[in-house]
Structure formats: C-alpha cells, structure tokens
Homo-oligomer: A and B are copies of this chain.
Amino acid sequence: MLTERHPVTPMKYCSQCGDPVRVSIPDGDNLPRYVCSSCDTIHYQNPRMVVGCVPEWQGQVLLCRRAIEPRHGYWTLPAGYLENGETTVEGAARETLEEANARVEIDDLYTMINLPHINQVYLLFRARLLDDRFSPGEESLETQLFAEHEIPWQELAFPTVGFTLEHYFSDLRRGHFEVRLKDMIFRRNNRK
C-alpha cells in the first residue's frame, strides 16, 4: 500500500503526555529531534521501507495499474510500506496478494533503492507467481502480465519501477541476477 501518506509529518504535541514538543539536540546526540517540553520524551523519526517484488510468470512480469494517488492510472510493481511485525519477504508477498490477488514465492533481493529526500528505502525482490491467477485488488484498476517488449515504459508510476524492470529483463536475458543498489535523489526544482 504505497499511498499518499507523507513520509515526514512535523510533530506538534508529545504522543506520551499531550504537551507541546520543541526541537532540540538531546545530550549525547548530534541531530535535532522532537523533544517533549514536559516529560522529556525524545521522539525519533526514521526512514520507512517500501517492500515489493517482480512477480514473474514464464518470462513475463505482473504489473498493477494504480487505482490510488499518487500516480493514479500508472503501472507499478506490487509494493508498499513494510508493517510492524513482519519480515521484508512477508511484506513483499502480502503487498502482491493485496494489490494483485496473486500468490508468489519470493526469491532473492533484487534492488535496494534509496530515496533519502522522502525518507524511503525500496527493497524489491525477485518472485515467481505460483499460478497464472491474478486480478485487481482494491488499490489497482488492472493487473496484467507483460513481456519485455510490451512494458508500458512511458506509463510507469515511479522511477524505481523503471529502474528495476530495465535491469530485470536485461539480467533475465543473460541468465544472471545480482543485487543492485541505487540512489535516486530528487530535490525540488532539480528533478533528475
């Protein structure tokens, strides 16, 4: 479920006691944090993981057309925020079931993509569909298998998806996959 939630929300009140927070650098720390003015609780904020997979079936890849913002109507790999209490592999399989009603066997990690400007790390795995049954989940308009020449490259939802698919088909052709690390840093007025 990769939704419109903003990854960093400014904090105004302490979630422990309800009094206002201030921004300061705690003793022994070197970064500004939200700290409660009353009970001194330090509220750390950290990046989130987006977990998903490249679900393959006989050389084709399953994509989902998004029914939600951002990028409504564009195609994506099944992926979303890792939840508390689950492993990265469990999260990737859950997202595939939720978005495409598809069951997968998750294989190795394939891409790790850093998006530090929005405090996200993508972890996308290779995966095999267990059968050819799939259908749109609540967050998808369509689900479809694509061979490499059929991929809607101009209608992909996110650069992370394009990066992963480009390498995936290239690696599939040469018969050897390796984990790929990538930083994608988009700054305001400096999208590249």
Contacts and interface: CB of A to CB of B under 8 A. Distances in A.
B84 A46 contact: yes
A28 B81 CA distance: 15
B15 A121 contact: no
Copies of this chain, count: 2
B84 A45 contact: yes
B14 A47 contact: no
A56 to B, nearest CB: 18
Interface in A17-73: 17-21, 28-29, 31, 42-49
A175 to B, nearest CB: 16
Interface of A: 1, 5, 8-9, 11-21, 28-29, 31, 42-49, 81-90, 108-109, 112, 114, 116-117, 119, 121, 123, 138, 179, 181, 183
